[in-house]
Amino acid sequence: MPPATRITTLLVCDAESLFRSKPVLEIRSLESATKREIESPKEELRLLVGNRYRDLIESADSILLIKSSSQSISSNLSAIDSSLRSLSSFPVETLNPNPNSVRSLNYAIATRVKYLVDTPESIWGCLDGSLFLEASGRYLRAKVVRGTVGGDSILNSPLLGHHWQIVKGFKG
């Protein structure tokens, strides 16, 4: 008879008849075997609950990480949006020709020209680093910048014409 069946059968018998029919050493070994059988499922249950608890904690940590990442992405997108809005809300053509605004005009044109000149190198760097989203963002921003200074004769210069042709090549 297997040990588990034997123990179950013995447990059905009353304690008095067990003590009459078995020696004390055998009763002690039966008791320890029964305790091991009882403790084994308890330990398995503890391990199972512990593993599930760790999984739950890891899931909660992952959810918090996803939340903070999405908030960071959202704030970055808001910053990009406000930057693009500030570029288009400051058209070069509407500046007044007083000394301060002439300086502002020159600065605005110079920064936009520099942005357009640096764009091909920046896009190539992003493409080399497999940063395709950043490269396409740079392309779109350069397109917006070119549109804000489109009427100026500065854009007709060979240097900017050449750089713009390179930038246009990135469209595909």
163 within 8 A of 119, measured Cβ to Cβ? yes
pLDDT digits (tens, 9 = 90+) for 131-150: 888 888 888 888 888 777 65
82 CB burial (10 A radius; 0-12, 13-18, 19+): exposed
* Reported confidence tier of residue 62, pLDDT bands at 50, 70, 90: very high
What is the per-residue pLDDT for 95? 47
Residue 168: which of 112, 111, 120, 104 has the closest Cα?
120
139 within 8 A of 170, measured Cβ to Cβ? yes
Candidate from 55-69, 71-85, 89-103 with smallest mean pLDDT: 89-103
Residue in the structure block whose two tokens are 């520099």:
114
